[in-house]
Amino acid sequence: MGLNSMGSFIKLSIACISLFFTALAYGQWGPSYTSVRVIVSADHSDWNYRLGESVIFSVSVYKNGNPIEAKVQYEIMPEKMDPIDAGILYLENGRAQLKPQQMKTPGYLRCKVTVDSEGKFYEGMATVAFANDQIMPTTTMPDDFEKFWEQTLLQNKDIPLNAKMTKIEALSDEKLDVYQIKFQNFRLGSYIYGVLSVPRGGKKFPALIKVPGAGVWPHFMVQDADALKGLIVLDIRIHGIPMVMNDHNEIYGELWNAALNDYWAFNLDNKELYYYRRVYAGCVKAIDFIYSLPQFDQEHLGVSGGSQGGALAIVTAALDERVDYLVSYYPALCDLTGYLNGRAGGWPHLFDKNNSPFHAKEDKIETSKYYDVVNFARILKVPGYYCWGYNDQSCPPTSIQSMYNVIKAPKELGIMKDAGHYIYPKQKAVTDEWIFQNLSGIK
């Protein structure tokens, strides 16, 4: 392969990776179809169990829609933990059952099954809940938690917005005016970038801030569906990099794999310098920007996001009373210390068995408490809609559920049990309508 061809291939690969993570962040993609399907099911149709009950997992393997005889490997474990049972299972007529399993403490139990068909491996899983309404966080709230964030936001308030807007002609038309924007945040010369979509029509509109999933990725140059319905939409990124620029796929990919690789661990040993301090402050600064817009109705503001964005939505709403509603899909950064207590912790898994040799230090553990979404959930007062799936391997439901259980604010829950780190279109439609109706005053 020549240099030109190799360069084109790399650019295409980076573009595909960026698109993939964008789709995950916005909940647009589910599992892809394959000719071989491994289906794991539980004997309770709702996948919920009481402590003391037993779950019986069933395994089926289909090829081109027909059950097949197969030899499968299985593992059963509390999610993200070592297996408590594992082995080989032979399926007759494409189906078999595993022996009953229990959990003695509240949590999630996962059965993962793998089959080798013609040299390719296919996987299926089911994750069931045991008394999940009793899962409580392992992290604790520092005594100065609220004071720390009050001081952070007070300092950030002194930083002038210095906002700049550049119209994106390719996305603007008779319905929308669309701009790439940037505003100053956290220190002089440090910026947050976003794409702002403003409905046309000469009246005031409610607004929605969309906060990003993890990674480093640009805007994908499509009109925002929520803006087309009549909301001002500000879609932001957190790294201080323009969202619209030439060769952006290559640039973003290189940053992700070099300067911003593992950014979620930068300065974890110091709560004042940890990477997410600037990020959390920037999400609140985005509210200041929205309030500076003459088209904003000054009354109705929401925030939404998935994964890292699901975490940022909760954090933003907890830190600023100007937020009226939030939507959070499979939020990250929940109960990070779970791994230090023998169970799954939230993404980015700072203290799991792979990372604990580097991060399970007193100063890093203490810093994590100031950024753990659980502690923001404890002070949250904003109504929210929350969605996740039991099969999520990126943001474990154990960590999310522990956060959800401490929320005292009004809350609604949409669970698709078999979903992984994505949401189904049905869930997305429900949450889109929920946030739109609440922001628009339509009941």
For the cut 60, the answer to whether the pLDDT of residue 33 exceeds it is: yes
State residue 239 phi and psi, 5-degree precision: -95, 5
118 is a domain residue: yes
| 109 lies in the same domain as 151 | no
pLDDT score recorded for residue 436? 97
For the cut 50, the answer to whether the pLDDT of residue 7 exceeds it is: no
11 is a domain residue: no
For the cut 50, the answer to whether the pLDDT of residue 17 exceeds it is: no
pLDDT score recorded for residue 29? 52
pLDDT score recorded for residue 34? 79
pLDDT tens readout for residues 191-213: 999 999 999 988 999 999 999 99
375 is a domain residue: yes
| 150 lies in the same domain as 108 | no
| 126 lies in the same domain as 167 | no
21 is a domain residue: no
| 290 lies in the same domain as 207 | yes
Q: Rounded CA gap, 334 and 308, in Å? A: 10
pLDDT band at 442 (very low <50, low <70, confident <90, very high): low
For residues 12 and 147, the model is more confident at 147
The whole model's pTM is what?
A: 0.92
pLDDT score recorded for residue 21? 41
Q: Is the previous residue joined to 348 through a cis bond, with omega within 30 degrees of 0?
A: yes
Count: domains in the chain: 2
Cα 186 to Cα 64, 267, 418, distances in angstroms: 55, 16, 40
| 233 lies in the same domain as 296 | yes
DSSP conformation letters of 84-95? SEEEEEEEBTTE
CATH of the domain at 276: 3.40.50.1820
| 170 lies in the same domain as 42 | no
pLDDT score recorded for residue 330? 98
pLDDT score recorded for residue 13? 37
| 124 lies in the same domain as 230 | no
End-to-end CA distance of the chain: 59
pLDDT score recorded for residue 182? 97
pLDDT tens readout for residues 371-423: 999 999 999 999 999 999 999 999 999 999 999 999 999 999 999 999 999 99
Contacts of 212 (CB under 8 A, 6+ apart): 25, 235, 236, 237, 238, 305, 308, 309, 312
| 203 lies in the same domain as 289 | yes
Are 338 and 277 in contact by the 8 Å Cβ rule? The answer is no
pLDDT score recorded for residue 168? 97
Q: Rounded CA gap, 351 and 198, in Å? A: 42
| 72 lies in the same domain as 157 | no
277 is a domain residue: yes
Segment 200-227 mean pLDDT: 94
Cα 12 to Cα 19, 222, 253, distances in angstroms: 10, 19, 11
Segment 275-282 mean pLDDT: 98
Out of 72, 101, 132, a domain closes at 132
18 is a domain residue: no
Percent of the chain with pLDDT over 70: 92
CATH of the domain at 56: 2.60.40.1930
Q: Rounded CA gap, 290 and 111, in Å? A: 46
State residue 442 phi and psi, 5-degree precision: -95, 120
Q: Rounded CA gap, 36 and 123, in Å? A: 9
pLDDT score recorded for residue 107? 98
Segment 271-278 mean pLDDT: 98
For residues 390 and 92, the model is more confident at 390
Look up the domain containing 313 and give its range: 145-440
| 67 lies in the same domain as 126 | yes
324 is a domain residue: yes
| 124 lies in the same domain as 160 | no
5 is a domain residue: no
For residues 179 and 6, the model is more confident at 179
Cα 266 to Cα 2, 76, 269, 350, 395, distances in angstroms: 37, 34, 8, 11, 20
For the cut 80, the answer to whether the pLDDT of residue 4 exceeds it is: no
| 104 lies in the same domain as 188 | no
Segment 121-134 mean pLDDT: 97
pLDDT tens readout for residues 329-359: 999 999 999 999 999 999 999 999 999 999 9
Out of 84, 108, 132, a domain closes at 132
Structure tokens belonging to residue 133: 């309404």
Out of 74, 99, 132, a domain closes at 132
CA trace torsion 253, 254, 255, 260 (10° rounding): 90
- Tell me which amino acid residue 284 is: V
pLDDT score recorded for residue 31? 65
DSSP conformation letters of 112-161? EEEEEETTEEEEEEEEEEESGGG---S----TTHHHHHHHHHHHHHTS--
